[in-house]
Amino acid sequence: MSLTAPSTRPDRPSLRRRLVRLAERATTPLLPADYLDLFDPLRPGADLRGRIVEVHPETADAATIVIRPGADWAGHVPGQYVRIGVDVDGIRQWRAYSLTHGPRPDGFISITVKAVPGGLVSTHLVRESRPGTLVHLEQAQGEFVLPTDGGKFLFVTAGSGVTPVIGMLRNLYPVADGGVVRLARAAAYDIVVLHVAPSEPDSIFIDNLRALDAAGLIRLVARYDDEHGVLDVADLETLVPDLHERSTLACGPGGLLDALQDHHDARGLDLLTEQFRVTTLVVGEGGTVDFTGSSSGAGTTVDADGATPILDAAEAAGVLMPSGCRMGICFGCVLPLKEGAVRDLRTGAVTTATPGETEGSGVPIQTCISAAAGACVIDH
């Protein structure tokens, strides 16, 4: 029997940890991951990012942006949205945009953005996006999706509200060089699209919708404000005679969605909605907002009127704020209210916090849908 001296070689995990610590010391104040980000920002394990690969103008003020997502992108269901972070004037801004394709063979994703007057991020994306630019991503979210077992549906879309719907339609009816592909699974769907736009030139994806209509895959009802006047939901039964046989999915401005909700509730009809902006229903009295804590903007006092979301008022004053969808869905803007009162701009509900009575670190509020209802203090 032979005896072997114990090995003095360190095990591989231990050696790896020592090499990582050595690399961290050598690259301080940066970390090795910071250098890897320069060479392979889309690698597995990195913060989720995407690289813009194409920008396609859709109308004079809208563009489709095609993005190669990072390796850890988990995929999406047509109709969902993604939160995208872009750096504008040195400040990272987050917005939510609907994905305008189903899963693609090349693994890319796409969003279609309309430049909103005064919109910081939308204007930047439409006017300044270039292939090669990196953007920050979060995983896809949202419940505004088409049931998988087929049925009869009405899509009501207005303006850029068509973006999640076009993603569903492209997944059902993909287009190849030879035209629209008729998939067996799409045969179970009977779809009418009522699309509303200010004018025909302002109608995003109208060519796609017309092609599907011409192929007999959907029935398109296009309504233009300058030609037909503003849509009256009382006309739905005339525009869609079999309305009562269909489930309605609608995406657009809050006023239209509210009118549809009232209309469908009165008739006992199914309605699923996706709203891309907050509709302000209640205006409070406003007040001062004091920001405390250790983040950028701490120690700042902002004068906010009762009609402006605290998020917007703070950003206008130069306070760096967390944000996301800006319509009360993603909860990316939540901060603790330490003292005072805020009002929900959608419902008028008032949330208050009193020092010594409020448990924990404060009352969480969504700053994108809350306005000051008097003087208040927010931990930031």
In tens, the pLDDT along 24-69 reads: 555 454 445 555 666 788 999 888 999 999 999 988 889 999 999 9
Do 264 and 292 lie in a common domain? Answer: no
Based on the domain organization, do 224 and 177 belong to the same domain?
yes
pLDDT for residue 139: 92
Query: What is the per-residue pLDDT for 177?
Result: 61
Residue 280's pLDDT is: 54
Residues of the chain with pLDDT under 50: 1-5, 27, 29-31
What is the CATH number for 56? 2.40.30.10
Which pLDDT score, from 0 to 100, does residue 222 have?
95
Query: Domain containing 367 — which CATH number?
Result: 3.10.20.30
Claim to verify: residue 173 and residue 236 sit in the same structural domain: yes
Q: Is pTM beyond 0.75 here?
A: no
Classify each residue of 264-274 as buried b or exposed e, where b means 16 or more C-beta atoms within 10 Å of its C-beta. Answer: beeeebebbbb
- Any domain includes 2: no
pLDDT of residue 69: 97
Q: Are residues 270 and 299 in the same domain?
A: no
Q: Read off the amino acid at residue 63.
A: A
What distance in Å separates the CA atoms of residue 346 and residue 349, rounded to the nearest whole number?
8
Residue 23 lies in a domain: no
On whether residue 7 sits in a domain, the answer given is: no
Same domain, 303 and 361: yes
Note down the domain range covering 359.
Answer: 287-379
Residue 265 resides in a domain: yes
Closest CA to 256 of 143, 155, 111: 155
**357 part of a folded domain:** yes
**Co-location of 265 and 337 in the same domain:** no
User: Does residue 187 share a domain with residue 84?
Assistant: no
pLDDT 10s digits, 149-160: 899 999 999 988
pLDDT number for residue 317: 86
State the Cα–Cα distance between residues 267 and 41, nearest whole angstrom.
Answer: 52
3-state secondary structure string across 83-121: EEEEEECCEEEEEEEEECCCCCCCCCEEEEEECCCCCHH
Residue 2: predicted pLDDT: 44
Q: Can you spell out the DSSP letters for 19-72?
A: HHHHHHHHHTTS-HHHHHHHH-TTSTTSPPEEEEEEEEEEETTEEEEEEEE-TT
Domain count, the chain: 3
One domain, residues 370 and 293: yes
Residue with tokens 């302000």: 280
